[in-house]
Amino acid sequence: MQYFDEPTIVVFSGGQDSTTCLVWALKRFKKLYIMTFNYHQRHSIEIEMAKKIVNILKSEDRKKYLNWLKDDKIEEHKIVEINVLSNLLKTAMIQESEIIYDEETGLPTTFVPGRNILFLTIAAAYAYQKKIRHIVIGVCQTDYSGYPDCRDSTIKALQATIKLGMDYDVIIHTPLMWRSKAETIKLMQKLGGLELYKYTHTCYRGERPACGECFACELRLKGFEEVGIKDPLEYKNQK
Residue 26 has φ and ψ, to the nearest 5°, of -60, -35
Q: How far apart are the first and last CA of the chain?
A: 40
Residue whose CB is less far from a copy of itself, 122 or 191: 122
Contact window for a copy of itself (CB under 8 A) among 45-53, 88-96, 176-184, 198-206? 88-96
Between 80 and 214, whose beta carbon lies closer to a copy of itself? 80
Considering the rule CB under 8 A, would residue 165 count as an interface residue with a copy of itself? yes
Among 90, 96, 103, 228, binds a copy of itself (CB under 8 A): 90
- Region at 228 (left for phi over 0; alpha for psi -120 to 50; beta for the rest): left
Nearest partner of 231 among 216, 176, 179, 10, judged by Cα: 216
Nearest-approach distance from CB 111 to a copy of itself, in angstroms:
9
User: Using an 8 Å Cβ cutoff, are 110 and 148 in contact?
Assistant: no
Who's near 7: CB < 8 A, 6+ residues apart?
29, 30, 31, 32, 33, 75, 130, 132, 134
Least Cβ distance, residue 114 to a copy of itself (angstroms): 4
Compute the least distance from the CB of residue 191 to a copy of itself, in Å.
Answer: 29
* Size of residue set near a copy of itself by CB under 8 A: 40
Closest approach of a copy of itself to the CB of residue 153, in Å: 5
Q: Which of 57, 74, 158, 196 binds a copy of itself (CB under 8 A)?
A: 158
Q: Which stretch binds a copy of itself (CB under 8 A): 17-25, 47-55, 95-103, 118-126?
A: 118-126
Q: What is the DSSP string of 22-67?
A: HHHHHHHEEEEEEEEEES--S-THHHHHHHHHHHHHHSTTHHHH-T
Site for a copy of itself in 11-50 (CB under 8 A): none
